[in-house]
Chain A
Amino acid sequence: MRIFGLNRRIIRVLLGSQYAHMLEYRAEIALWALSGVLPFIMLSIWSGSDARSGLGLDGVALDRYFLSAYLVRQFSVVWVVYAFEEDALLGRLSPYLLQPLHPLWRYVAAHLGEQLTRLPFAALIAVVFFAVQPQAFWLPSLGGFLLAWLATWMAFAIAFLFQSLIATLCFWSEKASALERLQFIPFVFLSGLLAPLTAFPPAVRAWAQWTPFPYLIDFPARVLAGQPVDLIAGFGAQLAWIAVLLPLVLLLWRAGVRRYSAMGA
């Protein structure tokens, strides 16, 4: 059975080839993993600040939150809009459009391949973190780990769909990635990368809950760190965002493909 042209064999082969492809860029990916240390910088800032009491997390919990935020971010980084834009401009999208497989699956596979390549580097950084902060060491339960894994993947799915929505605008505008930059600031503030969402005033927090951002980092990071969190509300919101974004992406894709002019090909 195929879903949008996808079946198990295609998943296996696509993932294998994309993982091999990404391994060719392992040095670059290692640098990307290293450059994602913003949560650790924020941890050091908050730890040395009197304002940390307002975060609602004590020392060890704060350490664990920011390490979890780093790990969640590593496995939910999305760059589909940039890859898609380049492919559309250079004409590389054309052969993909002429194969019986939805082109977005190739980008999904590329992201998953990249995540696999990131895995050892992210693990190494976690090891270094625990070496520096041994009191923060913890091992989540199997159930907790699986829930965190699921929440991270759903965060990835939301981020991927959100960026794909912007990417499909490439069918109308050649530089749709500029729009992606617009959402970067609200993402950084409201996702929980700079501070746990509990640090924000209640009004901002209440407003942020209606955006997808807290479900990209804050929610999965709290699940991974084993902190009290409303799982049903969190997963429900993640599912809702996927349910909203997926049909939007498909609709916009269908309309966009009609406008495709196969530039550069």
Chain B
Amino acid sequence: MIQVDGLSKIYRVAEKQPGFAGTLRHFLRRRTRDVVAVQDVSFQIEPGEMVGFLGANGAGKTTTLKMLCGLIHPSSGRVQVGGFSPQRRQAEFLRRITLVMGQKQQLLWDLPPMDSLRVNAAVYGIPDGVARRRISELADLLELGEELTRPVRKLSLGQRMKAELLAALLHEPEVLFLDEPTLGLDVNAQARVRKFLAEYNRRTGATVLLTSHYMADITALCPRVLLIHQGRLFHDGPLEALAEQLAPEREVRLELESPVAPDALEGLGRLEQLEGCDVRLLVPRDQLTAVVAQLLDRFPVRDLDVTDPPIEELIGGLFRQGRV
């Protein structure tokens, strides 16, 4: 459904030093530099896949999404979405995609969402009856009711976001580009949007490419992730594989019946913390079963917990360490 080969985007940005002298210099001799936002990115997404797009701020996620939906033109490389070249923005292509960008809204601010939905139905050529049925179905899924007849400015952020999603999906697009669709929402609203997206994908078989700062969005929805850093694709594969790649060890937390000496834990992984009865060890993934068995065998264990370090920390740490 989505084919990306050697995609790059270079922006030319003006550079200005602060202060009056900087302003004067900028006015007299404007200096620019090229910023590589996306560099030689290639991947392929099959129909119906839900793929997470990860990366720090400014990594190139949004720029890539904008190129995939045809909003901006690539500097080089080739993109095909559903057999179309996005930058040509043919009407037939636009009818098959949608882009949802965080809190950027297409709804008319002073009117109820229903007015914007009527406009969208007309623009996409959806017959009135079909539009009514779809609005009703999507509103049910999104748990929207009377909010659709209240002015957008009177809605909460979560209600607005759900109404935006409804507007963006009214034409039943086959490809969804979602850029931070849960940004700024509270935990409950995030969960509802996630549930809705999963259900929409299940019902329609739509292809979804999703960026999010909330790892819960990615872990809940996307079996496959793309990790981009400084414009380059760093990982393309299952989330678990990324976790393994980033964190070859797992964390084992123990609460013992009585304190033990550090020597007693030798050979059972890397001791990270020992405070009284509380122990924290990092154990290589391939030794985990054996180590846990030994721990249970050797010590009186009150509680044991095995976890992966949070993926946000892993990715954040990775970027901080400059390992990518």
Return the CB mask of B141-174 against A: 1 if under 8 Å, else 0.
0000000000000000000000000001000000
**B94: which of A99, A257, A261, A264 is its contact (CB, 8 Å)?**
A99
Known: A100-B95, A261-B72. A91 touches B123 (CB 8 A): no
Closest to A90 in B: B104
Q: Are B115 and A95 in contact (CB under 8 A)?
A: no
Q: Are B110 and A10 in contact (CB under 8 A)?
A: no
Q: Are A100 and B123 in contact (CB under 8 A)?
A: yes
- Among B97, B116, B123, max chain A CB count under 10 A is at B123
Q: Are B115 and A262 in contact (CB under 8 A)?
A: no
Q: Are A100 and B94 in contact (CB under 8 A)?
A: yes
B85 part of interface (Cβ distance < 8 Å) = no
Q: Are A9 and B108 in contact (CB under 8 A)?
A: no
Q: Are B71 and A262 in contact (CB under 8 A)?
A: yes
**Segment 103-160 of A: residues with Cβ below 8 Å from B:** none
Q: Are A17 and B111 in contact (CB under 8 A)?
A: yes
B200 part of interface (Cβ distance < 8 Å) = no
A203 part of interface (Cβ distance < 8 Å) = no
**B106: which of A17, A90, A95, A257 is its contact (CB, 8 Å)?**
A95
Q: Are A14 and B119 in contact (CB under 8 A)?
A: yes
Known: A24-B110, A94-B101, A100-B94. A14 touches B124 (CB 8 A): no
Q: Are B119 and A94 in contact (CB under 8 A)?
A: no
Roughly how many angstroms separate A98 CA and B88 CA in the complex, as a whole number?
11
Contacts of B168 in A (CB 8 A): 95
B98 part of interface (Cβ distance < 8 Å) = yes
Contacts of A258 in B (CB 8 A): 73, 87
A59 part of interface (Cβ distance < 8 Å) = no
Contacts of B105 in A (CB 8 A): 92, 95
Roughly how many angstroms separate A16 CA and B117 CA in the complex, as a whole number?
13
How many residues on chain B are close to A (CB under 8 Å)? 33
A205 part of interface (Cβ distance < 8 Å) = no
Closest to A14 in B: B119
Q: Are B104 and A94 in contact (CB under 8 A)?
A: yes
Contacts of A90 in B (CB 8 A): 104
Known: A5-B91, A17-B108, A17-B111. A260 touches B123 (CB 8 A): no
A101 part of interface (Cβ distance < 8 Å) = yes
Q: Are B110 and A101 in contact (CB under 8 A)?
A: no
**Segment 219-264 of A: residues with Cβ below 8 Å from B:** 257-258, 260-262, 264
Closest to B108 in A: A21
CB distance from A192 to the nearest CB of B (A): 35
Closest to A18 in B: B108
Q: Are B111 and A10 in contact (CB under 8 A)?
A: no
A20 part of interface (Cβ distance < 8 Å) = yes
CB distance from A5 to the nearest CB of B (A): 7
Roughly how many angstroms separate A98 CA and B167 CA in the complex, as a whole number?
13
CB distance from B123 to the nearest CB of A (A): 5
Roughly how many angstroms separate A92 CA and B99 CA in the complex, as a whole number?
12
Q: Are A98 and B119 in contact (CB under 8 A)?
A: no
Known: A5-B123, A24-B110. A17 touches B91 (CB 8 A): no
B55 part of interface (Cβ distance < 8 Å) = no
B280 part of interface (Cβ distance < 8 Å) = no
Known: A17-B115, A17-B119. A98 touches B94 (CB 8 A): yes
Q: Are A94 and B110 in contact (CB under 8 A)?
A: no
Contacts of B101 in A (CB 8 A): 91, 94-95, 265
Roughly how many angstroms separate A17 CA and B116 CA in the complex, as a whole number?
8
A13 part of interface (Cβ distance < 8 Å) = yes
Roughly how many angstroms separate A99 CA and B171 CA in the complex, as a whole number?
10
Roughly how many angstroms separate A197 CA and B97 CA in the complex, as a whole number?
52
Known: A17-B119, A21-B111. A96 touches B106 (CB 8 A): yes
A97 part of interface (Cβ distance < 8 Å) = yes
CB distance from A23 to the nearest CB of B (A): 9
**B99: which of A5, A12, A24, A95 is its contact (CB, 8 Å)?**
A95
B250 part of interface (Cβ distance < 8 Å) = no
Known: A95-B104, A96-B106, A99-B94. A9 touches B122 (CB 8 A): yes
Closest to B13 in A: A261
B118 part of interface (Cβ distance < 8 Å) = yes
Known: A94-B99, A98-B94, A100-B91. A262 touches B111 (CB 8 A): no
Q: Are B104 and A91 in contact (CB under 8 A)?
A: yes
CB distance from A12 to the nearest CB of B (A): 8
A-B contacts, 9 listed (Cβ < 8 Å): A5-B91, A10-B122, A17-B115, A17-B119, A21-B108, A21-B115, A94-B101, A99-B94, A99-B124
Residues in chain B within 8 A of chain A (CB atoms): 11, 62, 66, 69-73, 87, 89, 91, 94-95, 97-99, 101, 104-106, 108, 110-111, 115-116, 118-124, 168
A17-B119, A21-B115, A99-B120 given; name 7 further pairs at CB < 8 Å.
Answer: A14-B119, A17-B115, A95-B99, A98-B69, A98-B71, A98-B98, A265-B71
Residues in chain A within 8 A of chain B (CB atoms): 5, 9-10, 12-14, 16-17, 20-21, 24-25, 90-92, 94-101, 257-258, 260-262, 264-265
The 10 residue pairs across chains A and B that have the minimum distance between CB atoms: A95-B106, A100-B91, A13-B122, A24-B110, A10-B122, A100-B94, A17-B115, A101-B123, A91-B104, A9-B122
